């Protein structure tokens, strides 16, 4: 038997309903906040991610699915959405129409990480990006959107961490301070961090190795080294969060896995998820559009991990497969043919209807009806055809009545819809 590739998974009926609910809720929120959807391809030129995410990030260094196609062009499966959305913003000159664009997207991402609970090689994200606005109001608005999602999903046990990563004016000086601090502890760092120390010392804060964590005790933090503009920006973000009554924890050690972040960075964490506890993350990336060859337009966005959200929610309530309302038990060729047409007509009326097209025994069909969870069964056999009326059975009350064959669709519609709206 051929099995799934390691780190990949199927989302099966029974689970998918929950995923769809989350997507629907998120889509509604985005509409309310004036976002429009964008879909970008899964494959992009490798260079886009190398430049857009950062050549020295874990993602680009070791987690991408990269291959060369027939013309020896290096392509990669997207590990995140922002770089692609920025590419589209530039490529289609969306900024020329209006530099301010509020975009969202949903879809699979690919990272060749070590598979474990909450960590897959294909996982799903919901992403938001806003271009063209420097104002801290937008950072606060994006966080509000994210926390509104948590709220509508009744996920009250999550915590929001925020930080500021400074800008190209204040970060270089901080990087040097950090390097001096790390230089004295270089032997206690993991091999990865020894490398990071050279090229991108802030990334050491993101390391999960015990030794590295301990070495960072007493390390200088970026928050203490922000320039005045960055400090004001951060304070305003906090001020709006307070006004929106969103609680948060300022975490001066929060850095993000991508190189391009400036100023606001945030993460939503769920204690219940154990080691893989981040359900969403985001931040501002004011230099990215320009770095990818576009105009000097700022950006800010977030990504929600759908797999982890779904797993949080499914621990609480198992997903429900939508049950049919009506099951048609049809016996004999003639009744089967007639029922098959009713079946489709009822579905067009928006009534979830099922039948057994294999014409099994009445006993078997009633068992299937029961198992399907249908509220009503319409029974029709040779005798009903002769008498010109089918039998309508309410599965809860067990009451039965007869329905003239010509009126079946209208009758079922009235009974099902009538009860539903009562
Ligand atoms: P982590 O610290 O868990 O590796 P990350 O910082 O790499 O997360 P982001 O790049 O910020 O994650 O992506 C946003 C969200 O996507 C995460 O908060 C998480 O919910 C989800 N996510 C990231 N990587 C994976 C993965 N391999 N499997 C499942 N979900 C993931
Ligand atoms: Mg990661």
At 324-338, the pLDDT tens digits run: 899 999 999 999 999
For 256, the enclosing helix (H) or strand (E) is: none
Any idea where the domains of the chain sit in the sequence?
16-170+226-314, 326-414
Distance 123 CA to ligand 1 centre (A): 9
Pocket (CB within 6 angstroms of ligand 1): 80, 111, 113, 118-120, 123, 125, 257, 276, 278-281, 303, 305, 307-308
Give the ligand with the smallest distance to the CA of 277: 1
| pLDDT at residue 419 tops 60 | no
Distance 243 CA to ligand 1 centre (A): 29
Distance 406 CA to ligand 1 centre (A): 57
Distance 17 CA to ligand 1 centre (A): 22
3-class secondary-structure state, position 261:
coil
Ordered DSSP codes for 298-340: -EEEEEEEHHHHHHHHHHHSPPPPPPPSEEEEE-SHHHHHHHH
Using 50, 70 and 90 to split pLDDT, how confident is the model at 70?
A: confident
3-class secondary-structure state, position 39:
coil
Cβ(90)–Cβ(289) under 8 Å?
Answer: yes
Using 50, 70 and 90 to split pLDDT, how confident is the model at 289?
A: very high
The Cα 371–Cα 133 span in angstroms is: 55
Which residue has the least CA distance to atom 2 on ligand 1?
Answer: 278
Give the fold, CATH level 3, of 326-414: Rossmann fold (3.40.50)
| pLDDT at residue 75 tops 90 | yes
**pLDDT tens digits, 165-217:** 999 999 999 999 999 999 999 889 998 888 888 888 888 998 888 888 888 88
Which residue has the least CA distance to atom 25 on ligand 1?
Answer: 119
What is the distance in angstroms between the CA of the first residue and the CA of the last residue of the chain? 51
User: Would you tell me which CATH number, out of the four given (3.30.930.10, 3.40.50.150, 3.40.640.10, 3.40.190.150), belongs to the domain 16-170+226-314?
Assistant: 3.30.930.10
Q: Do domains 16-170+226-314 and 326-414 have the same CATH topology?
A: no
Which residue has the least CA distance to atom 15 on ligand 1?
Answer: 305
Q: Which atom of ligand 1 is nearest to the CA of 59?
A: 7
Question: Average model confidence (pLDDT) for the chain?
Answer: 93
Using 50, 70 and 90 to split pLDDT, how confident is the model at 421?
A: very low
| Residues contacting 399, CB < 8 A, separation 6+ | 393
Distance 235 CA to ligand 2 centre (A): 28
Strands (E), 165-277: 249-250, 262-270
Q: Which atom of ligand 1 is nearest to the CA of 258?
A: 10
Arithmetic mean of pLDDT, 315-322: 63
Give the ligand with the smallest distance to the CA of 123: 1
Cβ(165)–Cβ(202) under 8 Å?
Answer: yes
The Cα 33–Cα 50 span in angstroms is: 32
Arithmetic mean of pLDDT, 140-157: 94
Crossing angle of helices 16-32 and 306-316, rounded to 10°: 120
Residue 116, strand partner residues: 119
Q: Which atom of ligand 1 is nearest to the CA of 257?
A: 6
Which residue has the least CA distance to atom 23 on ligand 1?
Answer: 305
The Cα 13–Cα 376 span in angstroms is: 23
The Cα 416–Cα 326 span in angstroms is: 8
């Amino acid at each position: 038997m051929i099995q799934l590739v390691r780190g990949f998974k199927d989302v099966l009926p029974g689970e998918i309903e929950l995923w769809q609910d989350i997507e629907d809720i998120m889509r509604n929120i985005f509409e309310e906040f004036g976002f429009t959807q964008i879909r970008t391809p899964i494959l992009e030129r490798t260079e886009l991610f190398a430049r857009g995410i950062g050549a020295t990030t874990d993602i680009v260094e070791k987690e991408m699915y990269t291959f060369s196609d027939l013309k020896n062009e290096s392509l990669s499966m997207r590990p995140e959405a922002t770089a692609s959305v920025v590419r589209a913003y530039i490529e289609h000159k969306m900024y020329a129409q209006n530099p301010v664009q509020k975009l969202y997207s949903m879809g699979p991402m690919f990272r060749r990480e070590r598979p474990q609970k909450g960590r897959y090689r294909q996982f799903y994200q919901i992403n938001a990006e806003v271009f063209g606005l420097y104002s801290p109001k937008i950072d606060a608005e994006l966080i509000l959107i994210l926390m509104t999602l948590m709220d509508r999903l009744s996920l009250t046990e999550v915590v929001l961490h925020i930080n500021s990563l400074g800008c190209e004016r204040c970060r270089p000086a901080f990087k040097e301070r950090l390097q001096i601090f790390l230089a004295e502890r270089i032997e206690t760092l993991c091999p990865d961090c020894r490398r990071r120390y050279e090229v991108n010392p802030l990334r050491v804060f993101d390391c999960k190795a015990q030794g590295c964590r301990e070495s960072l005790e007493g390390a200088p933090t970026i928050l203490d080294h922000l320039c005045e503009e960055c400090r004001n920006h951060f304070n305003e973000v906090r001020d709006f969060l307070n006004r929106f009554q969103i609680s948060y924890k300022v975490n001066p050690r929060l850095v993000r896995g991508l190189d391009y972040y400036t100023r606001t960075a945030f993460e939503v964490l769920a204690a219940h998820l154990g080691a893989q506890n981040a359900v969403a993350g985001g931040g501002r990336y004011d230099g990215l559009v320009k770095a990818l060859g576009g105009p000097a337009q700022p950006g800010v966005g977030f990504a929600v991990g759908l797999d982890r959200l779904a797993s949080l929610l499914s621990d609480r309530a198992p997903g429900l497969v939508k049950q049919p309302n009506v099951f048609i038990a049809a016996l004999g060729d003639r009744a089967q043919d007639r029922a098959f047409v009713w079946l489709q007509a009822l579905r067009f009326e928006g009534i979830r209807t099922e039948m057994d097209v294999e014409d099994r025994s009445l006993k078997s069909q009633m068992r299937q009806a029961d198992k399907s969870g249908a509220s009503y069964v319409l029974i029709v056999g040779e005798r009903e055809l002769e008498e010109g009326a089918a039998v309508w059975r309410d599965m809860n009350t067990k009451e039965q009545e007869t329905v003239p064959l010509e009126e079946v669709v209208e009758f079922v519609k009235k009974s099902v819809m009538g009860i539903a709206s009562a």
